[in-house]
Structure 1
Amino acid sequence: MKTLLILGAGGHGRSVAEAALLQGEWESVIFLDDAWPQVEELLGCKVMGKVADIGKMVELCHGAIAAVGNNAVREQWIALIERHDIALASVVHPGAWISPSAGVGAGTAVLAGAVVGSAAEVGKGVIINANATVDHDVQMGDLSHIGVGVQLAGGVKIGARAWLQAGSCCGYHVQVAGGERVSPGTALY
């Protein structure tokens, strides 16, 4: 059985687990989360320990993804995955669409209803949340995060570790600086 290790058993972790199991590439999911042992199961999948227990999981999994919305924590967890020589997995919900000409980096989650358009370039460890649009020629830096329903028009550039919260949007060729946090519903032109 091909098993995915997910770091993070919160709401985002649950969404990533569902997407992974629906995707068909993974037969099972196990979690690590610092809420363990209070949280022992999520979606019928076992929470096996705390994030620091990752070394015990190396032989039990075939890939791992950091499933937490906080960009800084996700960066730390990705480094932990890589230090333990576990393959950094991307998860794409089967209800998402990615153009064949787009590039999506390792450790990225693309959730239900999301669209990644022609020639878009998505970095490592990115979150593209449900019903978000990354249109043609968009560039998303490593560890950036776009929330539910975020709309990025063609040619937008999102810097590394930027976070565009739910419902925000960017008009054509807008640039968002690395590390910037954009409030929900904000329109940038």
Structure 2
Amino acid sequence: MILGTGSHGRLVADAIRAQGDAVLGFLEDSSPAGELVAGVPVLGPLRLAWDGAPAPDRCVVAIGNPVLRQRWLQVLEAAGAPVGVVVHPRACVSPSAQLAPGCVVLAGAVINADAQLERGVLVNSGAVVDHDAICGAYSQLGVNAAMAGGSRLGPLASLAAGRVLGCGEQRFAELELAPGAADLSEGVSCAGFSG
């Protein structure tokens, strides 16, 4: 089951089908139940992920915004839903790479030896995570972005399409207090992202 019917949701559906698996359906607040997206039905609103949807083998959050992806993955985990990993069969992933639950690796991406992808990482088409690089939780690489060996992308950080993070370099998200929050324990948002 896929949360989100946008362009990223369609890419994730393609990757799941390319793996030889079936997509049970989408959950989306802005699309009516029964609507077909990429030939797959919308089952209803996102809240059905924990309240009434058919039980899937695994759930995937297909939302590009890192903050929203984090929120929905945390909701799924709190509800005890099985969170999956999606790796397109045309991606190249080293056997020594580590991919945590909620990761999505799209076609043409390369994840090299001893790379680490923490929870909810999105690696778009053609992106490269080289040896010993670390992608922090809910971070993402744009199309054809590259992380050189030993580099680090911090939690919720994004590396834009075509950008390169050099050997040993680090990039962290610009975090801001969420509206109405008094401190970081009450919530943060990423600069440049809504939510």
Same fold, judged at TM 0.5 (above) = yes
**Aligned: 1:49 with 2:44:** yes
Partner of 2:105: 110
Partner of 1:187: none
Partner of 1:148: 143
Task: Give identity over the alignment, percent.
Answer: 37
Aligned 8 A contact 2:34 2:43 in 1: no
* Match runs of 1:151-166 below 5 Å: 151-166=146-161
**Aligned: 1:120 with 2:136:** no
Partner of 2:3: 7
CA distance in 1, matches of 2:191, 2:135: 14
Q: CA deviation at 1:182?
A: 11
Aligned 8 A contact 2:96 2:114 in 1: yes
TM-score w.r.t. length of structure 1: 0.88
Aligned 8 A contact 1:103 1:121 in 2: yes
User: What is the Cα-based RMSD across aligned positions, in Å?
Assistant: 1.8
Partner of 2:68: 73
CA distance in 2, matches of 1:131, 1:69: 16
Q: CA deviation at 1:42?
A: 0.9
Q: CA deviation at 1:65?
A: 0.9
Structure 2 residue runs of 5 or longer lacking an equivalent are 176-189
**Aligned: 1:62 with 2:57:** yes
Deviations 1:42-94 (A, max 9, x none): 1111101111222112x431110110110111011101211221111010000
Q: Kindly tell me the number of residue pairs found equivalent between the two proteins.
A: 177
Structure 1 residue runs of 5 or longer lacking an equivalent are 184-189
Q: CA deviation at 1:38?
A: 7.8
Moved over 3 A (4+): 178-183
CA distance in 1, matches of 2:110, 2:191: 20
- Return 169-178 or 15-24, whichever deviates more: 169-178
3-state DSSP class of the match of 1:48?
strand
Partner of 2:88: 93
- Return 34-43 or 135-144, whichever deviates more: 34-43
TM-score w.r.t. length of structure 2: 0.86
Partner of 1:186: none
